[in-house]
Amino acid sequence: SLVREMNMKPDLTRIWTKGRSIGAGLWGATQRPAMVPLEMYDQAQHLFLANIKDKRSQDRFGEIAGVDPELVVSVVRALPKYHWLYIRQEEGVMCVVGP
């Protein structure tokens, strides 16, 4: 809602893309990777993805750097409730975490 309803995309994008160089960071969360700027997860160090069956949302997984998008889709589809696929983009490593 900060991006669409409050028109804060330029401010948030600036922090996501330039924040590290000034020692700042921004935690962001969304129910699914739709209608959010690419910078929200393109610049992310850590991603947590839950089970999602929506094809449009799965298509956005191909934009995550350093990982195989087909593997991400297959793992996310199979996740049980309250489990997450953790992705650390810098190293391109993934694991499943749960309760």
Q: Is residue 2 part of a domain?
A: no
Provide the number of structural domains found in the chain: 1
Residue 33 has pLDDT above 70, yes or no: no
Report if pTM > 0.75: no
Residue 38 has pLDDT above 80, yes or no: no
Q: Is residue 71 part of a domain?
A: yes
Expressed as residue numbers, the domain containing 19 is: 9-97
The Cα-based distances of 29 to 21, 70, 71, 79 in angstroms read 22, 23, 22, 19
Q: What is the CATH number of the domain that holds 62?
A: 3.40.50.300
Q: Is residue 63 part of a domain?
A: yes
Contact 65, 89 (CB under 8 A): yes
- Place 21 in a pLDDT band, splitting at 50, 70 and 90: confident
| Average pLDDT along the chain | 82
Residue 32 has pLDDT above 70, yes or no: no
Q: Is residue 17 part of a domain?
A: yes
The Cα-based distances of 66 to 8, 11, 60 in angstroms read 28, 26, 14
What is the b/e burial string over 78-87, where b = at least 16 CB atoms within 10 angstroms of the residue's CB? ebeeeebbeb
The β-bridge partners of 46 are 88
Structure confidence by residue, pLDDT tens digits, 52-99 = 888 887 887 777 778 888 899 899 999 999 999 999 988 889 999 998
